[in-house]
Structure 1
Amino acid sequence: MKEITANEVQHLIDQGKKLNLIDVREVDEVQAGHIPDVMHIPLGLLEFRLHELNKNESYIMVCRSGARSGRATQLLEDNGFDASNMAGGMLAWEGKVQI
């Protein structure tokens, strides 16, 4: 499974790169604070919403600590998507947070 650090994600955002970030935390967790412009798909719903994603795009999966997003990354990879897990999740995120 591919991983990317929170600092690497922040650096790409600072460079103006368009990233496809998917936050797989629960609704209340996302409402408490999330990376701006992130797509929210709770982990339990991800397999049912794969049709919303594009296999020609790359995705970075985000959760609180990296465990759920790791499972999400594996699910996407198993279904033919290019996905990376943001290691450390929001606990490692030092960038801007939107509430």
Structure 2
Amino acid sequence: MKEITVQELKQMMDNQEDFQLIDVREQKEFNFANLGGELIPLGEVLQNADKVSKDKKVVVHCRSGKRSENAILQLEQAHGFDNLYNLVGGILAWSDEIDPTLPKY
């Protein structure tokens, strides 16, 4: 599985690279703290595979990196995606290493 660090994601954002950011947490988690990605909860990811780009880099994240890993495995197995990157450490790592004002839970 391809992975990306929070530092690499921050650099992509700063450089305004063309990529898709998908958050696979639940709505209440997204409302509490988010990175500005598109919310597709893990339980709905396969039904919403058409919302996931196949022609550019897609960074998938959750709270710690486990649910996003699961989402990527599902999408790769069911739909043949090969452009998905798991955000190592998820939103917790973002809060620890990039933006300490982002609330943790």
Establish whether TM, by shorter chain, passes 0.5. Answer: yes
| Structure 2: runs of 5+ lacking an equivalent | none
| 2:69 pairs with 1:60 | no
* 1:27-81 Cα deviation digits (max 9, x unpaired): 0000001112x11000000011112223223211010000000011112222211
Higher RCO (CA-CA < 8 Å; seq separation 6+): 1
Matching of residue 72 in structure 1 with residue 65 in structure 2: no
TM-score, with length taken from structure 2? 0.83
Identical aligned residues as a percent = 38
Counterpart position of 1:91: 92
Decide which structure has greater strand share. 1
Unaligned runs of 5+ in 1: none
Runs of 4+ in 1 over 6 A off after TM superposition: none
Count of residues in correspondence between the two structures: 96
- What's the TM-score, normalizing by structure 1? 0.88
What is the root-mean-square deviation of aligned Cα atoms in Å? 1.5
